[in-house]
């Protein structure tokens, strides 16, 4: 079958085909208007008499010179499409169950290699622009060398393929800003800053091409509505049942049961079942058992955005609780009896300590300024048995400005050590990280040392409150330091309680003043904890980086929307996929080899926030700058050691089994030469992988250090150390003799 660029006349369709052909004609009309050179629309053939059940459609797209051309072909396999258009680099595949559905069928564009680049609308999926002889500069290279290649613009990605066929993929949703610089002798520079801290610098040969790419990226990186985001077209080839199982992986009701609630002091309330009391809270909320619904309703009217005090975490051993809410609408003198009764109920729910802390995470000056707007903070004269505490975490605007200053320092080439650290200090970023950490430490100590419950709030209770409550829970509960537990923590304190991910991450084209790195700060605080307590966390920093990647990618539905109600209205569980099962499937990549799950020293973490414990997170802010000085991965070395230890343990068990068998056969207990030859194992050194033996930069003493709880083999060797130092007797114990030879 030869490709044809023309659309043949279509006979009058049957009634059932009318919706399909209307969609085809509308798509063709739009495409011809928007994309010069479009000749046809992929779809079901006009000669078909009836719908043959589920049907596959395929369209191949290519760019010939500067005029995009869509080669349309009907079929179900890539082979047929390649025969029709062997020069096509991409394909678009859609599937529809009915003629009506074909007009809105989801399309999937794949490179011929099988790498997924897009699942989305028909024409946006098949329209691919290409610019050749583009240079990719390295911002930290001292030799000013560049890579020359071809730049492709798809509906979801910007793709650069250099002359060595190495591919660089940039998701449109990751793009934070695009800047077209002044024309130079080598071409037109285009600088792209990404939300995952990647910076790319292209030199496009012709200014016209650069201008086209610039305008396209401005449009593609800022979507107007949720349905245009990547998650709504992403299809990982799971059926509806698998999709549902992915969303059911995290069950917050089970998580509260693990904490020990409901109990005699706390109960599940259905007051917000229809989101009538608070739209930004989840449906299911846990409140003190003695708090009636009128008290809850009255308190919600006295709190900003209706976010009244509810349970976030319950410490079963201390019978103390972490609760969260928003600021009161107290102004200078207003009060609310229902709100006072609710706080008193929280205090009474702790039988160990009758007073409770109210922690305002804002600087005191900011909280006092809010009083002029009719808001503010609790008056201790009106609330019995509370102790008030300000912790001084700055607002989202200060944090956004601080991060921007940090990125300016990071992106400056050739800075001296003094200039770098001076810029890092002036950005204030690590100072803000310390403030969040100090607040979480105060929260954890209030519960573990004083057995006191704590109520946390900021202004609206969805930014700084989420940071402090989640970090405090992480310090108190080792479960949240596992891979699965960390997912539960994010679902509980961030997603369900209404952190505005879409606004803070800039998923849609909205107010830039609402964008702020609140969740990024939380991840960085967790990373600092993993640096201080490397044995306490099941996951490595790769896990944190992957989560940070996906809060901006819009590939999964978890972080879309600003609250649970909005997510239900978008039907995310029906139309998108959850991130968590995909991370669990690859959890081996995120495991921390130093993790010690049996260690009781890390039940509660007590980090030290002295200044020199805070450092620049190089692998977050420079993870894409490959020409920076490479470092050996300590984790890779330790993983190698663990694999060797596992092999040694297996060898020892085999030897012990053989020795036991020999003991049953022999009565004199003398180790004969024949026995020695039969049980002597191959030297473990010979089994050592080259990648481990060639780690020449690792000092010998470091390689021989014993890591607590690392392996049974290490412990067994240490038991035999004294025996090894003795001169060899004529007759020795079988067990010690074989152990010595094994070593």
Instruction: Tell me the catalytic residues.
Output: 458
Return the sign of the alpha-carbon dihedral for residues 656, 659, 663, 669: negative
User: What gap in Å lies between CA 414 and CA 411, rounded to an integer?
Assistant: 10
User: What gap in Å lies between CA 315 and CA 352, rounded to an integer?
Assistant: 12
206: tokens are 């012709």
Cβ atoms within 10 Å, residue 215: 12
Annotated binding site for substrate: 395-396, 458-464
Q: ∠448-449-452 over CA atoms, to 5°?
A: 75
End-to-end CA distance of the chain: 70
Q: Are strands 356-360 and 386-390 parallel, antiparallel or unpaired?
A: parallel
User: What gap in Å lies between CA 17 and CA 13, rounded to an integer?
Assistant: 6
Annotated binding site: 395-396, 458-464
The torsion angle over the Cα atoms of residues 558, 562, 563 and 564, rounded to 10 degrees, is -40
Element spanning 314, H or E? strand 310-315
Q: How far is CA 13 from CA 45, 46, 320, 362, 422, in A?
A: 11, 8, 70, 66, 72
- Closest Cα to residue 152, out of 115, 184, 122? 115
User: What gap in Å lies between CA 401 and CA 572, rounded to an integer?
Assistant: 32
DSSP string, 550-571: HHHH--SSTT-SSSHHHHHHHT
343: tokens are 């706080």
The torsion angle over the Cα atoms of residues 275, 281, 283 and 288, rounded to 10 degrees, is -110
Residues near 414 by beta carbon (within 8 Å), at least 6 away in sequence: none
Cβ atoms within 10 Å, residue 124: 21
- Closest Cα to residue 661, out of 591, 562, 547, 738? 738
């Amino acid at each position: 079958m030869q490709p044809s660029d023309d659309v043949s006349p279509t006979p009058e369709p049957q009634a059932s085909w009318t919706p399909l052909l209307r969609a085809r004609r509308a798509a063709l009309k739009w495409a011809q208007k928007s994309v010069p050179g479009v000749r046809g629309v992929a779809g079901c053939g006009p000669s078909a008499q009836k719908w043959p059940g589920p049907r596959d459609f395929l369209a191949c797209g290519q760019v010939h010179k500067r005029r995009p051309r869509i080669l349309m072909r009907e079929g179900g396999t890539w082979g047929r499409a390649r025969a029709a258009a062997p020069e096509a680099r991409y394909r678009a595949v859609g599937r529809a169950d009915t003629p009506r559905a074909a007009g809105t069928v989801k399309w999937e564009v794949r490179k011929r290699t099988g790498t997924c680049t897009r699942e989305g609308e028909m024409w946006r999926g098949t329209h691919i622009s290409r610019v050749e002889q583009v240079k990719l500069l390295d911002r930290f290279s001292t030799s000013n060398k560049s890579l020359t290649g071809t730049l492709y613009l798809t509906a979801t990605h910007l793709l650069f393929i250099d002359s060595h066929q190495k591919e660089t993929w940039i998701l449109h949703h990751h793009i934070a800003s695009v800047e077209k610089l002044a024309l130079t002798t080598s071409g037109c520079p285009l600088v792209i800053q990404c939300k995952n801290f990647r910076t790319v610098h292209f030199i496009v040969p012709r200014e016209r091409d650069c201008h086209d790419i610039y305008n396209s990226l401005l449009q593609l990186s800022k979507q107007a509505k949720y349905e245009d985001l990547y998650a709504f077209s992403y299809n990982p080839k799971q059926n509806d049942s698998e999709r549902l199982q992915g969303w059911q992986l995290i069950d917050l009701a089970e998580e509260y049961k693990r904490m020990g609630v409901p109990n005699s002091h706390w109960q599940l309330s259905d007051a917000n079942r229809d989101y009538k009391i608070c739209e930004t809270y989840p449906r299911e909320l846990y409140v003190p058992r003695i708090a009636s619904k009128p008290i809850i309703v009255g308190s919600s009217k006295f709190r900003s955005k209706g976010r009244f005090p509810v349970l976030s975490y319950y410490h079963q051993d201390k019978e103390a609780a972490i609760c969260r809410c928003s600021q009161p609408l107290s102004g200078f003198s207003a009060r609310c009896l229902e709100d006072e009764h609710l706080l008193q109920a929280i205090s009474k729910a702790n039988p160990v300590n009758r007073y409770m802390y109210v922690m305002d995470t804002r600087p005191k000056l900011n909280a006092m300024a809010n009083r002029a707007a009719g808001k503010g903070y609790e008056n201790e004269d009106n609330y019995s048995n509370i102790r008030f505490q300000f912790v001084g975490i700055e607002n989202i605007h200060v944090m956004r400005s601080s991060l921007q200053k940090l990125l300016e320092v990071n992106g400056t080439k050739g800075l001296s050590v003094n200039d770098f650290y001076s810029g890092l200090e002036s950005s204030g970023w690590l100072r803000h990280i310390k403030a969040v950490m100090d607040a979480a430490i105060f929260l954890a100590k209030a519960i573990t040392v004083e057995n006191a419950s704590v109520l946390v709030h900021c202004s609206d209770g969805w930014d700084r409150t989420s940071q402090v409550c989640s970090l405090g829970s992480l310090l108190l509960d080792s479960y949240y330091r596992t891979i699965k537990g960390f997912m539960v923590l994010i679902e509980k304190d961030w997603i369900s309680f209404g952190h505005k991910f879409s606004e803070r991450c800039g998923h849609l084209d909205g107010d830039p003043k609402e964008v702020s790195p609140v969740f990024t700060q939380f991840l960085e605080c967790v990373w600092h904890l993993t640096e201080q307590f490397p044995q306490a966390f099941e996951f490595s920093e790769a896990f944190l980086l992957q989560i940070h990647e996906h809060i901006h990618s819009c590939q999964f539905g978890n972080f879309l929307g600003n609250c649970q109600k909005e997510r239900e209205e978008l039907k995310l569980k029906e139309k998108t996929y959850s991130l968590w099962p995909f991370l669990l499937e690859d959890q081996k990549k995120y495991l921390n080899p130093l993790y010690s799950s049996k260690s009781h020293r890390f039940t509660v973490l007590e980090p030290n926030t002295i200044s020199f414990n805070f450092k620049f997170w190089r692998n977050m802010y420079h993870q894409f700058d490959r020409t920076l000085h490479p470092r050996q991965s300590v984790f890779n070395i330790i993983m190698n050691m663990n694999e060797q230890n596992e092999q040694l343990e297996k060898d020892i068990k085999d030897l012990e089994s053989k020795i036991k068998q020999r003991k049953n056969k022999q009565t004199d207990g003398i180790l004969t030469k024949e026995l020695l030859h039969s049980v002597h194992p191959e030297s473990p050194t010979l089994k050592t992988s080259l990648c481990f033996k060639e780690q020449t930069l690792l000092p010998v003493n470091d390689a021989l250090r014993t890591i607590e709880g690392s392996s049974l083999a290490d412990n067994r060797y240490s038991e035999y150390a004294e025996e090894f130092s003795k001169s060899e007797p004529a007759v020795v114990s079988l067990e010690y003799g074989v152990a010595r030879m094994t070593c």
